[in-house]
Amino acid sequence: MAELIGLVHSLYPDPLSVADALRLADLEQVAGRRVERLSGGQRQRVRLALALAGNPELLVLDEPTAALDVDARRTFWDRVRSYVAGGRTVLFATHRLEEADAVADRVVVIADGHLLADGTPDQVKAQAAGRSTISVAADGLSRYVLENLPAVETVRRDRGRVTLSTSNPDATIRALLQQAPHVQGLEVTQAGMEEAFRHLIHQGGTP
């Protein structure tokens, strides 16, 4: 595998050293293995090492952590931060909104070819200011009742729970408790990147 990275390294006028590419991709321990004998996550990191080998000023990645477990994702972003700290830029597409929130300096939200937001993570999340999610156990709760609670924008059911997106959590909770006074497992969460994304999609007319 190191030989493959070395081959790519040799094609560029100002490449990153093979050792640095292996280190940044967290592949030093498996450098001597054949690629076909690596795990899915390790192969994903080989792709990163191949991209880094040319020492690009702009590195474009598509779903770079898709095959990585939690620890590998954390290590991956630590290494990317180290690469960016040298004055380079990394542009990545992801469906993991928590990653965009945690690691990106700038977030661009695009849906159906339309630009819906462009700014820092805090600026994007601010577009959902005042919105929250309310999560409760789903037992016996009618979707019709939930959809017609005041300020509710969306209703989602998943694994025995219902999650409501609301622009006025106090009003929603008061009405919910009137309709279902014995509701179980009530949780309220302030809007994060996921809720900002949903709000932007809803506001932009995208289903």
More confident residue, 130 or 87: 87
Domains of the chain in sequence order: 2-93 (3.40.50.300), 130-190 (3.30.70.920)
**Rounded CA gap, 22 and 125, in Å?**
36
Does 206 have pLDDT greater than 60?
Answer: no
Task: Please tell me the predicted confidence (pLDDT) of residue 106.
Answer: 95
pTM surpassing 0.75?
A: no
Closest by Cα among 3, 71, 1, 80 to 41: 71
With 90 as the cut, is the pLDDT of residue 150 above it? Answer: yes
Q: What is the pLDDT of residues 7-24, one digit of tens each?
A: 999 999 999 999 999 998
Residues linked to residue 156 through DSSP beta bridges, in sequence order = 163
Mean pLDDT, the chain, as a whole number?
89
Asked if residue 64 lies in contact with residue 54, where contact means CB atoms within 8 angstroms, the answer is: no
Helix (H) or strand (E) run with residue 109 in it: strand 107-111
Q: Which residue type is seen at 12?
A: Y
Contact 16, 52 (CB under 8 A): yes
Q: Which residue has the tokens 């809803």?
A: 202
Q: What is the pLDDT of residue 200?
A: 86
Q: CA-CA distance, 9 to 44, in Å (whole number)?
A: 18
172 alpha-carbon distance from chain centroid? 28
Distance CA 35, CA 167 (A): 50
Residue pair 99/152 in contact by the 8 Å Cβ criterion: no
Q: pLDDT for 32-91, tens place per residue?
A: 999 999 988 889 899 999 999 999 999 999 998 887 888 888 988 998 998 999 899 999
Q: What is the pLDDT of residues 21-41, one digit of tens each?
A: 999 898 999 999 999 999 888
